[in-house]
Amino acid sequence: RHDYAEVCRALELRGDERVIDAGGGLGVLAQHIVDAHPLTQVTVLERPEVVAMAPSGSAVQWLDGSLFEPWEARADAVVLARVLHDWDDAEAIQILKRARAALSSGGRVYVVEMMASETSVAGALCDLHLLVVTGGRERSASHLRRLLETAGFGPIALRRLPALPSVLVGAVP
C-alpha cells in the first residue's frame, strides 16, 4: 500500500523489538516494517491457508493462528492494520484482548484504520460495504478508543497521518 511508509513512521519502534502483524495477510506491511527497522523481529499471524501462500526469502516470520484463539507468540508491539473494521464490536474487543495477552509489560498495540470522522462519501460507501459484507464498520477515533479501553489498554493516543488511515496507539499499563 502506498501509505505503509507513513504507517511505519507512526509506529515509533525502538529498533530491536518483537512485533506481531496480526491479520497481516501476505506480509506487505510486515516487510515495510522490516525494511524501515532492520533489527525488529516481525511475525505475521495469519490463518494457515494464508501462511501457505506467504513469500519466502525475507526476514518476516510467519505464525499459523487465529485472531480469536490464544496467540503462540509474545511481542513488544502488535499491529492491527485494517483488521478491526471487518468485525463487530464484540469480536473487535476479543481481538484486542488477544493482542493485549500477547504483549509484554509496557507493550503497545497499533490500530491502523480509516477513522469514520475522516470519511467522505466514498468512506460512507466503504462503511456500508463493510457492514453488509462482513458485519464490521468504520469507526470514529472515540469509538475505537472505547474498544481499546474495554480491552484493557491505556493510555491511548491518536496519530493522524497526512493521508488516510490514522493510527491509535494503546499501551499496556
Tell me which CATH code domain 4-171 carries.
3.40.50.150
Domain residue spans of the chain: 4-171
pTM as predicted = 0.87
| Backbone region of residue 138 per phi and psi (left: phi > 0; alpha: psi in -120 to 50; beta: other values) | beta
**What is residue 153's predicted lDDT score, i.e. its pLDDT?**
96
Q: Which positions ≥6 away from 145 have C-beta within 8 Å?
A: 156, 158, 168
Range scoring the smallest mean pLDDT among 19-23, 96-100, 111-115: 111-115
Q: What percentage of the chain reaches a pLDDT higher than 70? A: 86
Q: Known catalytic residues? A: 85
- Percentage of the chain lying above the pLDDT 90 cut: 63
In the chain, the DSSP E strands lie at: 18-22, 41-46, 61-64, 75-81, 103-113, 156-160, 166-171
CB 133 within 8 Å of CB 166: no
Give the residue-averaged pLDDT of 92-99: 98
- The predicted model gives 126-139 an average pLDDT of 55
Paired with 75 in beta bridges are 103
Q: Does position 134 have pLDDT exceeding 70, yes or no? A: no
118 vs 80, residue with greater confidence: 80
Is the model's pLDDT at 37 over the cut of 80? yes
Q: Compute the distance between CA of residue 154 and CA of residue 105 in angstroms, rounded to an integer.
A: 12
The residue ranking higher by pLDDT, 127 or 22, is 22
pLDDT at 124: 54
Average the pLDDT over 144-170 and give the result: 88
pLDDT at 129: 46
